[in-house]
Amino acid sequence: MKLSSLMRRDFLRAGGLGMAGAVLPMAGYAADALRSDQPAMACFNVRQYGAAGDGKTLDTAAVNRAIDVAAAAGGGVVLFPAGAYLCFSIHLKSKVHLRLEQGATIVAAASPLPGEATGYNGGVYDAAESNAPWESYQDFGHNHWHNSLIWGEEIHDFSITGSGLIWGKGLSFGAGGAAHPPRGGYPRYVAEQTGAGNKTIALKNCRNALLRDFSVLKGGHFCLLATGVDNLTIDNVTVDTDRDGFDIDCCQNVRVSNCTVNSPWDDGICPKSSFALGYARPTRNLTITNCYVTGCYELGTVIDGSFKKFSAEEKVFRTGRIKCGTESNGGFINITIANCVFEGCHGYALESVDGALIEDVAITNTTMRDLASGPLFFRLGARLRGPKETTKVGTLKRILVDNLVCHNAPTRYISILSGVPGYAIEDVKLANIFIETAGGAKDEAARIEVPEKESGYPEPTMFGELPASGFFLRHMRNLEMSHVEIANAAADARPAFYLDDVSRADFFAVTAPRGVEGAFALHGVKDLRIGWSRAAGDTVLASVDGKNL
């Protein structure tokens, strides 16, 4: 439906330096399309409230003034026309929708350096509020929301949309020290420094939020930290950053779609369930679909479109993955991940180490290339970072992975599905999977004894090299693998599958190289069936220990 001439005139006026309070015909500012049958929404241009947009003048006060006026009017669109808006903390409000026009950039002003009292032109980010007595149960970044470029708490019905950019130029990407040198030529700001900012967008205890179409460059410790946010939509957002992309913590009814995340030094899309709210709240009813995650591109080259890969000599984590955890007190329940692409990063991770219930997860239609670890890392552990009187080992069960193809997985770090003694991963089905690994491991690798590390930090690298070329399976019950193929680019002495303390395992139509002593290494396995497979002959065993097939 076409806009009336009056509506078109209002829209053009709002996009320039025209009247504050211009009217846009939008309901909830979903930004899908302008329709003349939608109720009008007032528009508040930040330049009319004193924003210079020149990249030199601090525009924090002007932007917050426009937001306050919009909120007082009952809601509206706060418009950022083309320009660079240098800001410290921006305060989101209910029913206020930030709109970043093409060519508009919100720039995070420089944080104070260690030992300094203020940052750019005497400014500071809002103070990191106290989260006592819960602060010992999660890292610094998860305990604070106000020390951010853009934040909102206890608000509802709001959005950030548009084709503009948010540049976290002056944000900290976390703690300092030798482990975190400056990246991309940016100064090293320390998150704990008074007045520093360390997140692009932080939301706490909110509902009905929409993030759509914009890009984030260098987003600080988190491009998005959403804690206790319900009815959250993240769509068509591009992130190019030096720590986490999206941290979706203790949130429910969340949809992440059509997003690109380049996060070489940390996780790309990362559902969590920390104790930061003071109680164990699961992340529930989450859909992630049609997303591309990677960890192999230099900072800024995904947003500018040049896609420049790190050289092989550059020591970069190449994390970039989709991971549920590590903070895992509440749980991850009813999760669907579909139609995603991984490149030059780690694979999927499901981690319950702080008592979380990970239940009812479906992962379908994934392609992966040039991974830094195996395609799958499922860990039920016993770190138990939470209130001692209530925190106990959780669950990891009813997991389905279907239609996954992976080219060039590494030799050293393979797919790992591991519980701990007395706590098994349960009811896992893996189907229609093709994994090509680099291969090349020697005979001694097949004899490696793997430590338990029950309370260790969960990472695919935590056990070192493993005695299998495809899957390391330990402390599991009710495992089914069908139409799964392991192919090694170079001959590998290890068996494709290593099973330890596994009860009721079915392998159907499995193809894999046999290694030196077979395709299956079996230790403490009960109720095993192998059928119609090229990896081993048809086999039914009630119990087997210390045998290869």
CATH number at residue 168: 2.160.20
User: Do residue 175 and residue 227 come from a single domain?
Assistant: yes
Number of domains present in the structure of the chain: 3
Q: Is residue 195 part of a domain?
A: yes
- pLDDT at residue number 180: 54
Q: Is residue 333 part of a domain?
A: no
Q: Is residue 93 part of a domain?
A: yes
Strand pairing category for 83-87 and 104-108: parallel
User: Do residue 235 and residue 312 come from a single domain?
Assistant: yes
- Residue 264's domain spans which residues? 88-275+291-325
Q: Is residue 330 part of a domain?
A: no
User: Do residue 34 and residue 150 come from a single domain?
Assistant: no
Amino acid residing at 493 = A
Is residue 222 within 8 Å of residue 168, measured between CB atoms? no
- pLDDT at residue number 182: 64
Length of the chain: 549
Amino acid residing at 145 = W
User: Do residue 187 and residue 222 come from a single domain?
Assistant: yes
Q: Is residue 283 part of a domain?
A: no
User: Do residue 80 and residue 93 come from a single domain?
Assistant: no
- pLDDT at residue number 307: 98
Assess whether the previous peptide bond of 411 is cis (omega < 30° from 0): no
Burial 289-323 (b: 16+ CB within 10 A, else e): bebbbbbbbbbbebbeeeeeebeeeeebebbbbbb
User: Do residue 36 and residue 136 come from a single domain?
Assistant: no
- pLDDT at residue number 537: 96
Q: Is residue 388 part of a domain?
A: yes
- Give the integer Cα–Cα distance in Å for 64 and 72: 12
User: Do residue 38 and residue 27 come from a single domain?
Assistant: yes
- pLDDT at residue number 34: 37
| Host H or E run for residue 10 | helix 5-15
Asked which of 53, 87, 121 is the last residue of a domain, the reply is 87
Strand pairing category for 323-324 and 40-45: unpaired
Asked which of 46, 68, 87 is the last residue of a domain, the reply is 87
User: Do residue 297 and residue 406 come from a single domain?
Assistant: no
User: Do residue 105 and residue 220 come from a single domain?
Assistant: yes
| Host H or E run for residue 64 | helix 60-72
Alpha-carbon 215 to chain mean position: 16
User: Do residue 357 and residue 440 come from a single domain?
Assistant: yes
Angle at 92 between CA 86 and CA 96, to 5 degrees: 110
Q: Is residue 245 part of a domain?
A: yes
Q: Is residue 268 part of a domain?
A: yes
Is residue 346 within 8 Å of residue 372, measured between CB atoms? yes
Q: Which residues fall within 8 angstroms of residue 254, CB to CB, at 6 or more apart?
A: 226, 229, 231, 232, 233, 234, 248, 283, 285, 286, 287
Asked which of 87, 120, 143 is the last residue of a domain, the reply is 87
User: Do residue 121 and residue 77 come from a single domain?
Assistant: no
Amino acid residing at 45 = N
User: Do residue 80 and residue 48 come from a single domain?
Assistant: yes
Mean pLDDT, consecutive 10-residue segments, the chain of 549 residues? 33 38 46 49 96 98 98 98 98 98 98 94 97 96 97 98 98 68 76 95 98 98 98 98 97 98 97 98 98 97 97 91 97 98 98 98 98 98 95 97 98 97 98 97 95 97 97 98 97 97 98 93 98 97 97
